[in-house]
């Protein structure tokens, strides 16, 4: 099962990176679509020579995983006149065979562009240079969609950058660049110049990265000596040395070297003077997230130290007679003690604690954009500097009474910091699914030392991150398997439900594969590690979920378009509000009684303008989609449903038609004996002992099914020894013949019995007819030329298949079965599960054509399959769902992988996508509705009739609350439960008669 999940890798790191001569395979990545243009029937294919065929090769920039390749292939194959489309994600190429009478190269190129990737026609099939690399960078400090959009545009504008994607919710950037022109250091510097902290994660050829603390080093020469020693190791790619912190970060390929080798080299370099150990928590996503949370918390607490006294001076003490008298004491002219105290207390908040808003807005404006920091800086500066002007004028005037807004600027900054603290706290919880997946890996492992003959010489407990390829690890009962590998000694049962969804523990003995993160139930196992670090199945699943959370859903484009113009529009609205109220006051457009006693018309207008500026922040709008997609994909992973990105999630909620494959999807995919009828007195176990002895040498699936069933009568033995079969003959297409215990045993179909001139009794004839009606296979058993028994073999329905189809019908989703099996079997299975629309004896391309017909009729189609022959239909469908136990090709072609191989998860996937997009709509309604209501109120729409106005500091608190509320709204998806219909579903077991 572990090999199935290795197909889930999102970044094929390093594969083909140095292979400049690699050419696109002449075979398509997935089996080809119909060999004729869309709209031309299969019967017309004989006239195809009239259509000249052409080939075009495109450079496709931006693909990082099989899901990307699937998106490109889907988009291209939906065009009319496409014969074949082969996508090579490793070399960023697409080879398309097409009929020019129906489509041209430019249309194909534009279609790839519409799918979200950069496409360029390659003349003369020169091929794409393999110097492209993928770099992942963590970004700290983004506050809204404007920040992420600005970064994307800035990175995209760099010479050598081919594709840049910045995700606000995950706070990561993925950049594809030409390594001959750029390096990742230049990318980091560009991001930092934009006002954000950039932390390098990895490049495409860096499989794993580890940070070691080195003790005993005192000089730069000693660190240089260590660096040279490490560089000599095979598989080491980059080394970053930090002399001040005595830290070394190493990027390496885990299949060639590992951290224990690094520690050994470091400690041997200095003749024992140096000691190396893994740096706990350094460089992890969680450590940086926790540090960001702490920074906002500290900033908020410091702002309270100054803001609370300012608030008391402005809002409380002025109403206490004794204190008020002291605060109103004049110092110079009309300058009071209270005003001077407020100025002194608010200044550190404005310029020290609020410094982040100045730097952020400066760097944003320098790059020609405006973000949330610009709005906050403008609003607080307006309040602060007007207050400074008022205080200075009072100090120089014998009769000017100052009215300041120092509490506005300091309280505004404090509330915004509180909002950001709550926001990052909530956003940290959106990626808990990934943290839980990563927590499956054990912290420690027992490493065995072996001699040349394989005997255990000793054992040592080590950090789980120190495991290297080919290590032998001891797994005791109750412990987690430390890495992917295979059993070299021992036997036990392993609970793999956390990875595969298989509820029952799986028996493991020598030679069997195991998956890292699964739990050993009873016996002791010695496991040889084969895949460690980022190569493990668990890491591949984590990377897939991370990639899905990075990918933007199409609906996100709506927020991106709005945020581009939102901040400049808010600034214009704010200035217009101030100007309108100021002019109305000067021209006596409203009664003077409207103006509060503590201010004049200018100050009233200024407060309205500041309130508009700070209440209308685009943060909530930018977080509406990505946070919901993050939580949705994370919840899906925890439920065993791997959703490859926002696009798949968005398409799934609109599905109204599902096409099911039969074998391995609706049915178990493994023949089993379902009934036995003996025609003469004989002990059933003795009968099956003879039959199994004859069939044990057969490679036919039906023969294997008989042997497996016979083992039930020998449950006391794990590998029963059957009687010797002599003169074994396998008769292709009919059955087998052998001599067992001096009895002639013939096992096969009706025609074999007739060929052997064996009389078939009426009872046997009746049972054969009955099995055919039930879509089962009837097998006759002859002992010494006499028919002794009849076996009914069937590929049974999966438990719950009928109920799943029924529930889908109640969800107004039509179910269709398309299979390559014969019509009799197909109709029988369809009747049993309740499907009315059946297509049988269908070839792979005909399955895909059926999907395209449904799409042409306006249906949104999902395809559920498990085999190579299903992959064309999986690619053609709007949403391809692959059964987790299926083939690697099917898993790669699909948009959604059902890890547990349960049909119920089809309903879970669709229901989850519907709930997620309901949450996205609610987020948008909240974010947009909030601004549509908040801006007029802040602008004073209610003031003329009710006298109600929104002070700037309350507007700032409301703005911060809007972002937090959107994130919390998305976080509520974490409470997602499967539909109650599935909870009450009575899963039927497969009954063996």
Report strand pairing: 777-783 vs 743-748: antiparallel
Q: Which residue has the tokens 């042997």?
A: 707
- Decide: helix, strand or coil at residue 156: helix
Distance CA 327, CA 339 (A): 8
- Decide: helix, strand or coil at residue 636: helix
Give the CB-side neighbour count of residue 948, counting CA atoms within 13 A: 10
Distance CA 45, CA 265 (A): 66
- Decide: helix, strand or coil at residue 29: coil
CB 411 within 8 A of CB 956: yes
CB 491 within 8 A of CB 509: yes
Annotated catalytic residue, options 404, 661, 870, 905: 661
At CA 357, angle to CA 353 and CA 363, rounded to 5?
A: 135
Q: Which residue has the tokens 């009478």?
A: 101
For residue 338, report the phi and psi dihedrals to the nearest 5 degrees: -60, -45
Cβ-based neighbours of 487, under 8 Å, separated by 6 or more: 508, 509, 510, 511, 512, 514, 525, 526, 527
Q: Helices (DSSP H) in 270-330: which residue ranges?
A: 285-311, 321-327
Pair of tokens at residue 824:
């009799």
Cβ-based neighbours of 894, under 8 Å, separated by 6 or more: 70, 644, 874, 880, 881, 882
Q: How many residues does the chain have?
A: 993
Q: Which residue has the tokens 């009315």?
A: 836
SS3 content of the chain, % helix, strand, coil (to 5): 50, 20, 30
First to last CA, the chain: 30
Task: Say whether 661 is catalytic.
Answer: yes
Distance CA 200, CA 682 (A): 73
702 to 83, 340, 686, 929: CA distances (angstroms): 38, 94, 20, 64
Give the CB-side neighbour count of residue 871, counting CA atoms within 13 A: 22
DSSP per-residue codes, 780-841: EEEETTEEEEEEEEE-PBPTTHHHHHHHHHHTT-EEEEE-SS-HHHHHHHHHHHT--EEE-S
Q: Which residues are bridge partners to 175 per DSSP? A: 135, 164
Distance CA 916, CA 331 (A): 61
CB 814 within 8 A of CB 837: yes
Query: Quick one: 365 exposed, middle or buried, by C-beta within 10 A (0-12, 13-18, 19+)?
Result: middle
Report strand pairing: 93-98 vs 161-167: unpaired
Closest CA to 693 of 735, 734, 737: 737
For residue 172, report the phi and psi dihedrals to the nearest 5 degrees: -135, 155
CB 958 within 8 A of CB 615: yes
Cβ-based neighbours of 218, under 8 Å, separated by 6 or more: none
Q: What residues are labeled active site?
A: 661
């Amino acid at each position: 099962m572990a090999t199935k999940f290795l197909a889930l890798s999102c970044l094929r790191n390093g594969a083909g990176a140095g292979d400049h001569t690699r050419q696109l395979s002449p075979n398509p990545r997935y089996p080809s679509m119909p060999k004729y243009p869309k709209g031309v029937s299969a019967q017309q294919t004989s006239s195809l020579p009239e259509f000249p065929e052409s080939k075009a090769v495109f450079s496709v920039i931006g693909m990082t995983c099989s899901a990307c390749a699937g998106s490109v292939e889907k988009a291209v194959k939906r065009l009319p006149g496409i014969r074949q489309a082969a996508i090579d994600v490793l070399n960023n190429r697409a080879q398309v065979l097409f009929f020019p009478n129906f489509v041209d190269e430019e249309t194909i190129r534009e279609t790839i562009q519409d799918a979200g990737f950069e496409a360029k026609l390659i003349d003369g099939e020169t091929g794409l240079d393999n110097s492209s690399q993928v770099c992942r960078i963590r970004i700290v400090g983004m506050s809204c969609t404007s920040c992420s959009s600005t970064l994307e545009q800035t990175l995209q504008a760099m010479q050598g950058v081919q594709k840049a994607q910045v995700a606000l919710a995950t706070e990561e950037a993925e950049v594809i660049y030409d390594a001959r022109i750029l390096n990742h250091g230049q990318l980091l510097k560009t991001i930092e110049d934009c006002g954000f902290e950039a932390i390098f994660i990895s490049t495409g050829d860096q499989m794993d990265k580890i940070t070691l603390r080195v003790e005993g080093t005192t000089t730069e020469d000693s660190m240089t000596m260590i660096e040279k020693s490490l560089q000599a190791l095979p598989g080491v790619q980059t080394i970053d040395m930090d002399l001040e912190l005595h830290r070394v970060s190493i990027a390496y390929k885990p299949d060639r070297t590992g951290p224990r080798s690094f520690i050994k080299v470091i400690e041997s370099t200095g003749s024992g003077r140096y000691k190396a150990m893994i740096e706990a928590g350094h460089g992890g996503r969680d450590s940086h997230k926790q540090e960001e949370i702490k920074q906002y918390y500290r900033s908020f607490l410091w702002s309270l130290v100054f803001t609370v006294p300012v608030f008391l001076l402005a809002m409380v003490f002025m109403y206490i007679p004794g204190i008020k008298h002291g605060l109103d004491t004049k110092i110079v002219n009309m300058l009071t003690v209270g005003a001077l105290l407020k100025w002194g207390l608010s200044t550190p908040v404005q310029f020290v604690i609020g410094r982040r808003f100045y730097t952020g807005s400066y760097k944003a404006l320098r790059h020609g954009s405006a973000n949330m920091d610009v709005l906050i800086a403008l609003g607080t500066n307006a309040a602060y500097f007007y207050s400074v002007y008022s205080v200075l004028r009072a100090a120089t005037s014998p009769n000017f009474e100052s009215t300041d807004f120092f509490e506005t600027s300091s309280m505004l900054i404090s509330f915004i910091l509180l909002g950001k603290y709550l926001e990052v706290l909530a956003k940290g919880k959106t990626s808990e699914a990934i943290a839980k997946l990563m927590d499956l890996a054990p912290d420690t492992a027992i490493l065995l030392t072996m001699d040349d003959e394989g005997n255990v010489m000793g054992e040592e407990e080590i950090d789980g991150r120190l495991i290297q390829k080919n290590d032998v690890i001891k797994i005791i009962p109750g412990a987690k398997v430390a890495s992917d590998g295979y059993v070299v000694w021992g036997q036990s049962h392993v609970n793999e439900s956390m990875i595969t969804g298989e509820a029952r523990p799986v028996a493991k003995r020598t030679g069997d594969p195991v998956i890292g993160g699964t739990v050993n139930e009873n016996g002791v196992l010695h496991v040889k590690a084969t895949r460690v670090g980022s190569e493990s199945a668990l890491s591949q699943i984590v990377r897939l979920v991370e990639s899905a959370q990075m990918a933007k859903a199409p609906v996100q484009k709506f927020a991106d378009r709005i945020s581009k113009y939102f901040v400049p529009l808010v600034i214009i609205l704010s200035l217009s509000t101030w100007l309108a109220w100021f002019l109305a006051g000067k021209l006596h457009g409203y009664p003077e009684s409207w103006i509060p006693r503590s201010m004049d018309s200018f100050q009233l207008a200024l407060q309205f303008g500041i309130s508009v500026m700070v209440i209308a922040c685009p943060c909530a709008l930018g977080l509406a989609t990505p946070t919901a997609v993050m939580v949705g994909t994370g919840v899906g992973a925890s439920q065993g449903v791997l959703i490859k990105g926002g696009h798949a999630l968005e398409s799934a909620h609109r599905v109204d038609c599902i096409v099911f494959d039969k074998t391995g999807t609706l049915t178990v995919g493994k023949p089993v004996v379902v009934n036995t009828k003996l025609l003469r007195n004989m002990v059933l176990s003795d009968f099956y002992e003879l039959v199994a002895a004859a069939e044990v040498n057969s490679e036919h699936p039906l023969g294997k099914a008989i042997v497996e069933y016979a083992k039930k009568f020998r449950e006391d033995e794990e590998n029963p020894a059957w009687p010797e079969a002599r003169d074994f003959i396998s008769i292709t297409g009919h059955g087998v013949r052998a001599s067992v215990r001096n009895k002639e045993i013939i096992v096969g179909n009706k025609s074999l019995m007739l060929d052997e001139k064996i009389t078939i009794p009426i009872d046997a004839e009746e049972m054969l007819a009955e099995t055919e009606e039930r879509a089962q296979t009837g097998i006759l058993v002859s002992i010494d030329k006499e028919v002794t028994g009849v076996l009914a073999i069937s590929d049974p329905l999966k438990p719950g298949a009928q109920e799943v189809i029924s529930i889908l019908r109640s969800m107004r989703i039509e179910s269709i079965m398309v299979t390559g099996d014969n019509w009799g079997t197909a109709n029988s299975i369809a009747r049993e599960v309740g499907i009315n629309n059946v297509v049988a004896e269908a070839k792979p391309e005909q399955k895909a054509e059926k999907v395209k017909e449904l799409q042409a009729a306006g249906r949104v189609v999902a395809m559920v399959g498990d085999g190579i022959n299903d992959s064309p239909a999986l690619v053609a469908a709007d949403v391809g769902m692959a059964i987790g136990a299926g083939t690697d090709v099917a898993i790669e072609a699909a948009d959604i992988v059902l890890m547990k191989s349960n049909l119920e998860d089809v309903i879970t996937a669709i229901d989850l996508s519907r709930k997620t997009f309901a949450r996205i709509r609610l987020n948008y309604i909240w974010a947009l509705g909030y601004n549509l209501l908040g801006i007029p109120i802040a602008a004073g729409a209610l003031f003329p009739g009710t006298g109600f106005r929104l002070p700037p500091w309350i507007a700032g608190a409301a703005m911060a609350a809007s972002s937090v509320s959107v994130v919390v709204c998305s976080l509520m998806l974490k409470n997602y439960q499967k539909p109650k219909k599935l909870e009450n579903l009575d899963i039927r077991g497969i009954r063996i008669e």
